[in-house]
Amino acid sequence: MPKILINEAAKILGVHTDTLRRWEESGKIKPERTVGGHRRYDLAELLGVENDSGLTICYARVSTRPQKKDLETQAAVLSAYCQRMAWKYETIKDIGSGINYNKKGLSRLIQLITTNQVRRLVLTHKDRLLRFGAEIIFALCEQFAVEVVILNRDYDSSPEQDLVQDVLEIITVFSARLYGLRSHQNKALIDELDKTTTKIGKTYGITPESMM
């Protein structure tokens, strides 16, 4: 089987080239070197690493308890994918806002990643992890050689839609906190916020389900 370049190897495995270099440093893989010092990888060896017995974590999240049915749907999709790939996996489910970092499942995920217990992380969408700050978790995954698999990458929203969606999520969380205070004045403000978010959402084609 022909040897391949580091960029080709990284693309096949869905990891960064730095991840391959770390695997080499740890002795996990051993690429050949050309006379000029360039790495050449054996595809069979790489696929053997890819199909190891490391743990895959499926992470599913929705914002509120009424969306629990969607949470189970996410979990079922992730489970079916991992079973098809013959991966050993565990599913972590969270109910909480995408801008709330203090979630039990997310905390467990970070703990597993930073103690080298995770081989890969699988998500249905990038924003299921966090609305803001997902890049921090992805950076941890890169640091600890955890592959990230996002099943639905085909939807590419515009920067304007992303910004509006983030703002609407903040308004939604703010409204929920106001509702908890239960004053007549707050109820009037909540009603106005609801009308505003609905109007903005329709303008930019954003549904309540997309903010889960």
H or E, element range at 56: strand 56-62
Name the helix (H) or strand (E) containing 45: helix 43-50
User: How would you classify the pairing of strands 56-62 and 89-95?
Assistant: parallel
The C-alpha atoms of residue 52 and residue 125 are separated, in whole angstroms, by 25
The vertex-152 CA angle with 206 and 123, nearest 5°, equals: 105
- What residues act catalytically? 63
Q: Are strands 120-123 and 147-150 parallel, antiparallel or unpaired?
A: parallel
Q: End-to-end CA distance of the chain, in Å?
A: 46
Phi, psi of 153 (to 5 degrees): -105, 0
Pairing of strands 89-95, 32-33: unpaired
